[in-house]
Structure 1
Amino acid sequence: MPLPPILVDPSALSEFAAQLHREPVIAVDLEADSLHSYQDKVCLLQFSTPTATVLVDPLAIGDLSSLKAVLADGAVRKVFHAADYDIRCLYRDFGIEINGLFDTMIACQFLGEEKVGLADILNKYFDVQLDKRYQRADWSKRPLEEGMVRYAAEDTRYLLQLTEQLEAQLVAKGRLAWAQEEFVLLEQVRHNSTDGPLFLRFKKANTLERRQLAVLEELLQWRDSEAKRRDCPPFKVLNNAPLLEVARSMPANVRALSKVEGMVPRLVGRYGGSLLSAVEEGLKVPEEELPVYPRGEPRQRDPEAEARVLLLKKWRSKISKELEMDPGIVINNASLEQIARRQPNCVEDLAELKAMKNWQRQVLGKGIVAALKT
C-alpha cells in the first residue's frame, strides 16, 4: 500500500480542510511526544475519509486554524479511538474543539469487549497487526521514518469500517444512546490547570507530613527545572518512587541518601548533591509556612452507608455479568458511595446525583433502589 501524503503547507491544509467539511464522517487521530519532551505537543495528525488517508504535520505548518470549523461542526461525525487525550491536546495546542464525536473505544466498552486497545480491536475485527515498535516513538523527529508513517496511517485507516460494525452492534443491544451520552460528555474535557504547588499533582503526597511535603515540593521543583533544561519528561530525570522516599526519609548526607530505596549508586552519583540541597531547603521552611495537603471536609464513618455500598457492589457484579460489561463501566465506585450515602427511596431521587449519567438512571435505577431495600 502506498504511503499517505503528508501535508506541510498551510494552503494545502486549508484546501484539505474544505474537503473534509464535505464528508459526512471522518476518522481522526494524533501522535504526540509525551515520552520525549518536557512539554508534550501534537506532532502529527491523521485523517481518513472513506476514500483516502492523509497526514498533517503541525510542526511544519504551525497554524491549524483552518481545521477548526470542520472539527467543531457536529454535522460531520468525527471518529476517534480513545479520544480523551486527543481532545485535550487539540484544544490546548490549537484551540480546536471536537463536536460530533464517535469514540470506538467507548463503543467497545459498552459492547463488553475484553480488550479495548486499538491494536487488539483492529486485530480482532480486521486481522490487522499494528507494529508496536512505534507506540513509544519520538514523533517530533523529522523526517519521519517510513515505518512510522505507515503506522500512523493504520491508526485511522480502519476506523470508519470499525464504526459501522460497532454502531450496528450498539443498536442491536439497545445501547447506542448510552454511548452517545458518553461521547457528548467527552467532547467537553480539557487539560487541568497546572497552577499551584507541584506536590498537589504528585501521587501519594497525601501520605506525607507537612515537613515532608515541604521537602517534596523542593525536590519536585528541582526535578521540574532539570527536566525543562534537558527538554525531557520529569520521570526521565528521576522516577516518582525514589523521589517520594527521599522526601519521606529526608536524608542529611550522601551515606543516608544511598540507603533510600530506589536510590541506586548511579542516581546518587549523578544527582546526590542536588537532592541533598533540595532536602536542606525544605528543612529550612519556617514552621508557620509549611504546606498543608488539602483534604477537604473530614468524612465521618457511616457503618450503615458502608453496608449499603457492599450491597450495591454485589448488585453491580450481578448486573455487569448480565450486561457483559466491565463493572467500572456500568457504574463506578464513587457513584455507588454517593448513592449509598443518599439512600434514594425511588428512581426519581437519583436525579439529584450529578455523578450519575442519564442512561445509568434509566437502565440501572430500578435495580439500585431494589438492591438498597434488600
Structure 2
Amino acid sequence: MSRPTIHVETPGQARSVERALARVRSVAVDCEAAGYHRYSDRLCLVQLTAAGQTFVLDPLALDLAPHLRPFLEDPARVTIMHGAPYDLRLLHRDLGIRVGALTDTQVAASLLGEPAVGLQALLERHLGIRVSKRFQRADWASRPLPAEMIEYAAGDTRHLHRLAEILEARLEEAGRLSWAREEYRWLLDNSFDGGNEGPEPDPVARFKAARRLDDRSVTALREAIAWRDRIARERDRALFRVASDAALLAAARVRPPSVAALAALQGFPSRLAHQKGGALLKRFARVEGLPARELVPYPRPTTRGTRPDPEEEAAFERVKEVRNAAAGRLGLDRGRVMANQVLREVVAAMPGDRAGLAAVAEVRRWQVDVMGGELLDALWKRAAG
C-alpha cells in the first residue's frame, strides 16, 4: 500500500522534499499547467515521487526553484517522466530548471512498439493499474485544490519508477536501451525554449474559413482577434472560453451595427456583447473607414523554395522504402524509426558515408546503426548506376 500523498505549500514542507530527494538517485516528476482554462499555461503543480513517497508541490504558493534545482539538475540523478518535452519546457520556463538526466517512459514504450503509449494504457497493461481520467481537464490554477484533485495528480508519478524498470528491462533485452538513452539525451538538448525568432505569424491564418472573406472582413477579423485576446488576458481565461473562433468569424463577416445586434448574432456570447461589445464595434467602425489600400488580406501561402526535382523525389521514395522496411522488421511505427521530414533532410544533404548521415540534423546514431547502409545505398542508387 502506498504512503499518503504530501501536499507541499510552505517552505518548511518543501525542505522535507529536499531531505527525501537527497537520499535517492532517481525521482519521478510530472507537471500540471493551466492552459486549458487560463490565458497563460503557467505551471500550477509539480508532482514528485521518490523512494515510494509522493509529494504534490504548489508553485503558486511558494518558489520551488531553490528546493528542486540542486536535485533535478544533477546529471547523476535521473528524472523519470512520461511525455517529457512539455514538462521539461515548463520547468525551464517557470522555474529556470534544466533537468540533468532523463528517462521518458513514453519514449521507452514507443521503442518497444507498444500498441498504445499513453500513461493510462501502459499502467494498465504492465501493472494492472487503472487510472481515472476524471480530472484530465481540470482547472489546476484554481485554489484551494480539493483533496481528490491532489490525489489524482499524485497518480501521474506514483507508479513511474516501476513502469520505467519494466520498460527499460525489456529495452535491454531487445538491445534497444542505448536507443532510448540517445533519445532521452536528445530531448534534454532540444526541449527547452530558445526564444522565438522572426515575425509573429498572422493570427487570422488559424481561421481557414477566413480565406473566403473579402479583405475588409479579414481586417475586421484581425481586430476581433486582438479584442478577444485583450479580454482573455485581463480575465486570465482561455481564448475559447471568452468567445469561439466561429463567433469572431461571424462578427467580422457581418460587422453588426449595434451591441444588440452583436448579442443577437448566433453563437456570440450575449453577456460578453453587452459587457465588452462596444469596444469591438469601435474597432469594426475603424475598419469600415479604412481606404482599400490599407486593408490587410488573408496571408498568402508561403512557398518553400522550388518543388523537388524528379531525382530528389525518386530518392525520397527510395529512402522511405528503406525506412518502411526497417519499421516492419523492428515492429515499430514508421515515424518512430525516422520521420518523413528527417528523410527529406537526408535527401537534401546527400551524405556520402555514415559519418555524413549521422551529421544530418535530427538523425540519431541508433538510426544510422539500424539502417544507415541501406539508406546510403538507396540514396545513391541512381548515381551508382
Query: Same fold per TM (> 0.5)?
Result: yes
Q: Which residue of 2 aligns with 1:221?
A: 226
- Give the TM-score normalised by structure 2: 0.83
Q: Which residue of 1 aligns with 2:124?
A: 123
Q: Which residue of 2 aligns with 1:55?
A: 56
Task: Tell me if 1:369 matches 2:372.
Answer: no
Unpaired runs of 5+ residues, structure 2, are none
Q: Which residue of 2 aligns with 1:25?
A: 26
Deviations 1:314-358 (A, max 9, x none): 222221111111111111111111222334443343144223122
- SS of corresponding position for 2:99: coil
* 84-93 or 308-317, which deviates more: 308-317
Q: CA deviation at 1:149?
A: 2.1
Contact 2:30–2:47 (CA<8 Å) still a contact in 1?
yes
Q: Which amino acid aligns with 2:234?
A: R
Q: Judging changes above 3 Å, is the alpha-carbon distance between structure 1 residues 200 and 125 closer, same or farther for their aligned structure 2 residues?
A: same
CA distance in 1, matches of 2:221, 2:195: 20
Percent identity, aligned pairs only, is 33
Q: Judging changes above 3 Å, is the alpha-carbon distance between structure 1 residues 102 and 245 closer, same or farther for their aligned structure 2 residues?
A: farther
* 88-97 or 206-215, which deviates more: 206-215
Contact 1:217–1:282 (CA<8 Å) still a contact in 2?
no
- Give the TM-score normalised by structure 1: 0.85
- SS of corresponding position for 2:24: coil
Q: How does 1:1-374 map to 2 (within 5 A)?
A: 3-188=4-189, 189-191=191-193, 193=195, 196-197=199-200, 199=202, 203=206, 211=215, 214-240=219-245, 243=248, 250-253=253-256, 265-267=266-268, 278=283, 281=286, 284=290, 287=293, 290=296, 295=302, 298-372=305-379, 373=381
Q: Judging changes above 3 Å, is the alpha-carbon distance between structure 1 residues 347 and 215 closer, same or farther for their aligned structure 2 residues?
A: farther
- SS of corresponding position for 2:202: helix
Contact 1:29–1:86 (CA<8 Å) still a contact in 2?
yes
Q: Which amino acid aligns with 1:102?
A: T
Q: CA deviation at 1:280?
A: 5.6
Q: CA deviation at 1:21?
A: 2.7
Q: Which amino acid aligns with 2:54?
A: T
- SS of corresponding position for 2:107: helix
- SS of corresponding position for 1:133: coil
* 176-185 or 234-243, which deviates more: 234-243
Deviations 1:32-74 (A, max 9, x none): 2211111122222111123311221222223432211111001
Q: CA deviation at 1:125?
A: 0.9
CA distance in 2, matches of 1:275, 1:65: 45
Q: Judging changes above 3 Å, is the alpha-carbon distance between structure 1 residues 205 and 118 closer, same or farther for their aligned structure 2 residues?
A: same
Q: Judging changes above 3 Å, is the alpha-carbon distance between structure 1 residues 201 and 176 closer, same or farther for their aligned structure 2 residues?
A: farther
- SS of corresponding position for 2:267: helix
